[in-house]
Structures are given as C-alpha cells and as structure tokens.
C-alpha cells in the first residue's frame, strides 16, 4: 500500500485545532455515566492528558452478544523522567493501583508506570491522586514530547545524577503549557476573559506525531538511544560530563504490508554542550513541528521528515534556527542495551539492586508477590526507585546496613534473583498487547513466559543458557518494545502468528531483518532451534547472535533505513495463516 497523498490535514489535526487546547468535551464525557467510554474525539484528546481508552478484548465479543458495551477501562501513563521515583511516591502509586486499577503497576519500555483497568468513574480520582504524589500524567501520550528516558547505570552514580537532572529539565521544559489538564483533573478554575492560551512551543495543533527523547551514557545503550526521535549520547571524561552527541530520526513504528512505513535508527549529526541541550531539543522539535507531515499520521514522525527532506537539509535548518553550528560528533562506543541485573556498588559505596521483572509487570501472582514485596521495600527504603527502559527496576542508593533487610523482604516474597536467570530472559522485552491494548494483533506480555519456557531448554541444550541474546516481542508492528532492535524480534500479525525478525545489533546499533512471516509458536521454536544449535557450534569468540545470523547468511544486514523492506522474506516452513 502506498502512502496516501491526500495533502489534506488529518482529522486529528482538525481535532487538535478545534479542541481549545486539549479540552474538547472531556469534562462532559467523564460525566456521562451511561457509558464507560468517551467519544472517539475525546479519546484522542485524552492521550495528551496521559490516558488511553481501552477495553478488555478477552470479553469484547462475548459482551457484544450480551448487549453490553465493551468492558471499557483506561490506561494511565505517568510522567517519570529518567524513571526515578521516591519510595513515598511508590507507595502512593501502589495504593492508587490497588484502589482504582487492576492491582498492578506496569513498568514500561520508557521507564515509567502504567496503570491498567481504571474505570471511567475513577479516572479523575486516579489522575488527581498521581498529581498528589507530585507526579503527573500530562503529555505522556499524544503528539508531544513523551516521557524522557535516561540511562540507568548504577556503577556511575555521579553521572547518573547529572544526566537524570537533564532528563528532568528536558521533561519540564518541553511540557505543554495548556491549563486544560489542571482544569479537568485538578479542578483548577479557568481564568475567563484571558487572552487565548499561549502554547509557545507546540501551538494550537501540537506536533504532527509523538516525539521521544532519550539520554544514553556509553558504553550502555540501555535506553536504545537510536530508537528515539531525538537521542542524546552523553560524552564524559571519567566522571565529568563534556556534552552530548545529538542523534535524530529514530523510531520503530511500522504498518504491516505498508512499505512506506519502516523502523529507522537515529543518525548522529553533531555534538553540543550541556548548556545547549535544551536549546537543541527545542529547536529540533520546532523544525519537526513546522516540517512534519500533517496529512498522514503514518508518515508524520521525524524519521520520515528526515528521509523526505534529507539529513543535510535538516541539519542546515536546525543550525539556521539555532544560529550556531553543532560541533562534530565525538567518538563513542556502545556495548549492549541491557541492564546490569543484580547487586552493584557505586563509587560512593552505596548499593544498587536491579531486579529483573518479566515484561515489567509488577503484580502479586501465585509465584511471586511482586506488588506486596516492593510495597514492603518502599516502606523501609531510604534511597530511590529507578525504572529501566528494559522494564526492570533498580532499588537505588541502599545503605550497607539496609541491604540484609531488603534481601530478607525479597526472599519472603519469593522475588527472584536475576543472577540466576538465563541470558535470554535477562534481555527479553515485551509490550502489553492483549487483552487491553486496542492495537494488538497477537499476544505479547501474556505469551512471553511460555515462549521463554520453550526457548530456554534449547539454549541450555546448546550450552548457551548464560549467553545474552536480546529478544523483543510485540503484539503489533507499532514497536512499543522496540522489536526491530531485537537479535530475535517477534511482531504479532494475527492471533498466535508472528513475524520473525533476526539480526539486530546487540548494542542497539543495527536493525533486524524480517526472516519468516506469520509463524506459530511451534514454527518459531522449530525455526530457531537449528539456528541456535548452529550458532553454538560455529560462533566466533564473543560473536553475538545478531551478528552470527548475518554472517551465516540467514538474513542480510539492513543498510539504509529504507532497506528494511528490501529482503523478501522466505516462506514459512508450512503455509501459515496470516492476518
């Protein structure tokens, strides 16, 4: 399917323009108690406020037959720059999750919390509660700058502090200024008779599409800096921050069967000083605001603006608006995209414990009492909590004396020691998908455990159990778990059917390539088994799985961004039912 060349603004653009700075009829929609939903228009505007209308897809058809509307509920996403929160905030969010959501917190791939299953009648109370915890949900979704992600390397605490501070500054600086949020959720009065609200950065129609910013600190690429619209790669000398390489145009989202859509890794275009960070970010956003495609939402991210106009044009436009030139990029090297799981001591002698949480789902299950255990830790912990972009959790700044106490709580709640985990499990990500996500075409979070349970014995047999291989699973091609950066990427296509991608760089520097289409779980296992076995036999010393599959000829390396679709996938082992 080709890109639609309508040249007419999308209905979303008109909606934004007419929304009175994101107000729409949200208040009226919330007051309508006859339905658990809001109007489609308000649902779009609500994203800017940090909440998505969803429904329990497990019961959608059943309820339709029962003459009941879908089991609507809302997702609420918190703004948590750098993924850091205090134990007190943890407790407050935990309470909100137990009271108004599905008794769980979910750590997202953008280092923040998501609540699922919040009913409309509780939405306002829940969002107000998040604000009472001195957090916000504003602009965690929608055509604005989303939650700013930031590296989480506990070995380098002083730099972490500094970069975390920059992530906060970026987050604050790029927030929408509309008062709609405060009026709707926090009962602030609208100042009547005032001149039209100024939205100096975003304007009436905000950005053409979502915008994501991340800060990485080499050698760790734990936030997948090349997947960001705007990535900052911190350049440091020992513990002194020199500045940032600027990378632009990353993004994951793809539409199945539409070659005009593709994932793209960000290009490094230069270097800026820490003091220039906010100015660069704002100006990149301004260029995209004015140049991005507002006629086609599947072609509206910065990555397409860059490819349509050329990187040189973009850099020139950026520098012209800045009034100064970026310095040449500084050398850097990334080693991996994972977290350092387990206990670590920083240069100041404080301890940090990074726990592995499969799919980031914090909930009490028959196996592990995650929710209760972390609640107990939050009650006694004096440091901080840091959510990672790999859906894990670091309990940061633990005093020596507190370590045994925390270890006891972990044990009591059967929270697993990730040190014992295999390399695949440690490096696995998944999006939420079914039953709540409206976009999902296949299972993801609920399927990952069974997939791991099938692949781990094969790796064990191949004596690769401890070797790190990145696995990224999503229920649709939009890319929440950055599937095109997995050495093994699985993207849902239909219930029980996935496209298999292979060959991404272990350090997040290369996209993967479509290998097989529409595979079932059995077919995935059957397809991967011989490749894994051969990898175990034939790999070079230190050769990563993603590199091996290219060398062995399973897939070709992706060169240019548009090259993502160049390879025609080989047919599946058996004719597979697709889409």
Q: Which of 23, 47, 106, 146 is an active site residue?
A: 146
Which of the following is catalytic: 16, 44, 77, 375?
Answer: 77
Kindly report the three-state secondary structure assignment for every residue of 57-111.
HHHHHHHHHCCCCCCEEEEEECECHHHEECHHHHHHHHHHHHHHCCCEEEECCCC
Interacting span for other proteins (CB under 8 A) from 60-68, 222-230, 235-243, 355-363: 60-68
Q: Single out the segment in contact with other proteins by CB under 8 A; choices: 28-36, 168-176, 308-316, 380-388.
A: 28-36
What does the block give as tokens for 262?
């593709």
Reading the block at residue 541, the tokens are: 């010393």
d(CA 102, CA 122): 12
User: Which tokens hold the place of 251?
Assistant: 């993004």
Q: Which is nearer to other proteins, 62 or 335 (CB)?
A: 62
Specify whether the CB–CB gap between 204 and 48 falls below 8 A: no
Q: Give the span between the Cα atoms of 39 and 131, in whole angstroms.
A: 25
Tell me which of 16, 212, 375, 510 is the catalytic residue: 212
- Classify 159 as helix, strand or coil: helix
- What's the DSSP call for residue 550? H
**Does residue 150 carry a catalytic annotation?**
no
**Is 537 a residue that touches other proteins (CB under 8 A)?**
no
Binds other proteins (CB under 8 A): choice among 2, 34, 196, 401: 34
Task: Tell me: does residue 64 bind other proteins (CB under 8 A).
Answer: yes
What is the SS3 assignment for 136?
strand
Distance CA 137, CA 141 (A): 9
Q: How far is the CB of 100 from other proteins (least distance, A)?
A: 13
Q: Quick check: 573 binds other proteins (CB under 8 A)?
A: no
Check binding of 525 to other proteins (CB under 8 A): no
- CA distances to 233, 350, 526 from 346, rounded to whole Å, are 21, 6, 43
The residue (of 245 and 436) whose beta carbon lies closer to other proteins is: 436
Active site residue 141: no
Torsion of CA 345, 346, 352, 358, to 10 degrees: -100
Tokens of 354: 């990074």
454 touches other proteins (CB under 8 A): no
69 near other proteins, judged by CB under 8 A = yes
Q: Which letter does DSSP use for residue 145 in this model? A: B
Tell whether residue 36 is a contact of other proteins (CB under 8 A): yes
- Min dist CB 352 to other proteins, Å, is 41
- Of 27-35, 92-100, 337-345, 466-474, the window that binds other proteins (rule: CB under 8 A) is 27-35
Q: How far is the CB of 36 from other proteins (least distance, A)?
A: 7
Active-site residue 493, yes or no? no
Could you tell me the smallest distance in angstroms from the CB atom of residue 422 to other proteins? 37
In whole angstroms, how close is the CB of 29 to other proteins at the nearest point? 14
Instruction: Choose between 126 and 138: whose C-beta lies nearer to other proteins.
Output: 126
Q: Cβ(252)–Cβ(309) under 8 Å?
A: no
For residues 354 and 154, the answer to whether their CB atoms sit within 8 Å is yes
Q: Kindly tell me which residue out of 5, 66, 194, 568 binds other proteins, with binding defined by CB under 8 A.
A: 66
Which of 4, 14, 18, 35 contacts other proteins by CB under 8 A?
35
401 forms part of the interface with other proteins (CB under 8 A): no
**Alpha-carbon distance 455 to 69, whole Å?**
39
| Residue closer to other proteins (CB basis): 124 or 182 | 124
Buried b (16+ CB within 10 A) or exposed e, 373-399: bbbbbbeebebbbbbbbbbbbbbbbbe
Under DSSP, the state recorded for 18 is H
Is residue 60 at the binding interface for other proteins, with CB under 8 A as the rule?
A: no
Q: State in angstroms the smallest separation of the CB of 126 from other proteins.
A: 15
Radius of gyration of the chain (CA): 23
Position 68 contacts other proteins (CB under 8 A): yes
Stretch that binds other proteins, among 59-67, 317-325, 474-482, 529-537 (CB under 8 A): 59-67
Helices 302-309 and 277-291, packing angle to 10 deg? 70
Contact flag: residue 71 with other proteins (CB under 8 A):
yes
Task: Answer yes or no: 77 catalytic.
Answer: yes
Residue where the block lists tokens 């695949």? 424
Kindly tell me which residue out of 2, 33, 196, 401 binds other proteins, with binding defined by CB under 8 A: 33
Our finding on whether 556 is near other proteins (CB under 8 A) is no
76 - beta bridge partners? 51, 115
Residue 118 CB, shortest distance to other proteins, in Å, is: 13
Q: Catalytic one among 397, 476, 497, 510?
A: 476
Q: Which stretch binds other proteins (CB under 8 A): 68-76, 91-99, 151-159, 447-455?
A: 68-76
CB of 290 to other proteins, least distance (A): 39
Judged by beta carbon, residue 18 or residue 35, the one nearer other proteins is 35
To the nearest whole angstrom, how small is the minimum distance from the Cβ of residue 59 to other proteins?
6
Question: Is 146 among the residues known to form the active site?
Answer: yes
Paired sense of beta strands 428-430 and 471-474, if any? parallel
Examine residue 63 and tell whether it contacts other proteins (CB under 8 A). yes
Contacting residue, 2, 6, 7, 65, with other proteins by CB under 8 A: 65
Can you name the residues that pair with 489 across neighbouring β-strands? Answer: 472, 501
Residues 85-144 that bind other proteins (CB under 8 A): 119, 121
Interface region with other proteins, contact rule CB under 8 A, candidates 5-13, 56-64, 277-285, 550-558: 56-64
For residues 474 and 476, what is the distance between their CA atoms, to the nearest angstrom?
6
H or E element that contains 132? helix 120-132
Residue linked to tokens 């001195």: 134
Residue linked to tokens 């969803």: 54
Q: Is 480 a catalytic residue?
A: yes
In order of 75, 112, 144, 403, 513, the CA distances from 140 in angstroms are: 11, 9, 8, 34, 30
Residue 85 among the catalytic residues? no
What would the DSSP string read from start to end of 415-479?
A: ---GGGS-HHHHTEEE---TTT-TT-SS--TTTHHHHHHHHHHHHHHTT-TTS---EEEESSTT-
Stretch that binds other proteins, among 32-40, 161-169, 251-259, 415-423 (CB under 8 A): 32-40
Of residues 119 and 405, the one with the C-beta less far from other proteins: 119
Binding residues for other proteins, rule: CB under 8 A, are 33-36, 59, 62-69, 71, 119, 121
Catalytic annotation, residues? 77, 146, 210, 212, 431, 437, 476, 480
């Amino acid at each position: 399917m080709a890109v639609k060349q309508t040249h007419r603004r999308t209905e979303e653009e008109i909606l934004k323009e007419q929304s009175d700075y994101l107000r729409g009829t949200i208040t009226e929609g919330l007051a309508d108690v006859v339905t658990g939903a809001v109007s489609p228009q308000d649902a779009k505007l609500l994203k800017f406020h940090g909440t998505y209308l969803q429904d329990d897809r497990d019961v959608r058809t059943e309820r339709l037959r029962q003459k009941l509307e879908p089991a609507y509920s809302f997702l609420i996403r918190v703004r948590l720059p750098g993924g850091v929160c205090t134990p007190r905030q943890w407790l407050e969010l935990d309470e909100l999750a137990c009271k108004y959501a599905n008794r769980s917190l979910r750590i997202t791939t953008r280092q923040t919390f998501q609540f699922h299953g919040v009913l409309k009648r509780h939405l306002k109370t829940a969002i107000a509660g998040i604000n009472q915890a001195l957090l916000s949900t504003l602009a965690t979704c929608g055509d604005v700058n989303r939650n700013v992600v930031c590296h989480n390397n506990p070995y380098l605490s002083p730099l972490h502090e500094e970069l975390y501070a920059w992530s906060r500054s970026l987050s604050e600086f790029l927030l929408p200024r509309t008062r709609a949020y405060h009026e709707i959720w926090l009962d602030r009065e609208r100042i009547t008779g005032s001149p039209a609200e100024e939205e100096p950065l975003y304007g009436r129609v905000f950005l053409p599409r979502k915008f994501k910013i991340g800060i990485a600190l080499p050698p760790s690429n734990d936030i997948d800096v090349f997947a960001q619209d705007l990535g900052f790669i911190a350049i440091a000398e020992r513990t002194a921050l020199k500045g940032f390489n600027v990378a632009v145009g990353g993004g994951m989202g793809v539409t199945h069967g539409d070659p005009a859509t593709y994932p793209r890794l960000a290009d490094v275009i230069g270097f800026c000083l820490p003091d220039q960070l906010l100015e660069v970010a704002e100006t990149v956003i301004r260029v995209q605001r004015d140049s991005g495609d507002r006629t086609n939402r599947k072609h509206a991210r910065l990555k397409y603006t860059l490819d349509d106009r050329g990187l040189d044009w973009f850099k020139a436009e950026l520098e012209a608006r800045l009034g100064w030139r970026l310095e040449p990029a500084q050398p850097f090297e990334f080693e991996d995209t994972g977290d350092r799981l387990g206990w670590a001591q920083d240069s100041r002698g404080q301890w940090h414990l990074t726990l592995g949480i499969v799919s980031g789902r914090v909930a009490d299950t028959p196996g592990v009492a995650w929710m209760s255990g972390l609640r107990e830790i939050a009650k006694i912990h004096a440091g901080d909590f840091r959510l990672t972009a790999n859906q894990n959790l670091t309990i940061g700044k633990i005093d020596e004396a507190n370590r045994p106490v925390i270890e006891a709580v972990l044990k009591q709640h059967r929270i697993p020691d990730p040190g014992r985990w295999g390399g695949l499990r440690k490096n696995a990500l998944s999006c939420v998908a079914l039953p709540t996500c409206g976009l999902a075409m296949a299972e993801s979070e609920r399927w990952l455990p069974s997939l791991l349970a099938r692949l781990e014995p094969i790796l064990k047999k191949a004596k690769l159990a401890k070797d790190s291989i990145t696995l990224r699973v999503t229920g649709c091609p939009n890319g929440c778990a950055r599937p095109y950066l997995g050495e093994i990427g699985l993207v849902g296509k239909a219930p029980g059917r996935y496209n298999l991608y292979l060959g991404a760089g272990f350090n997040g520097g290369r996209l993967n390539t479509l290998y097989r289409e529409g595979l079932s779980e059995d077919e995935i296992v059957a397809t991967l088994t011989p490749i894994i076995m051969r990898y175990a036999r034939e790999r070079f010393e230190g050769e990563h799985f993603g590199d091996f599959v290219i060398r062995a000829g399973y897939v070709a390396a992706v060169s240019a961004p548009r090259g993502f679709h160049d390879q025609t996938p080989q047919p599946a082992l058996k004719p597979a039912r697709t889409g």
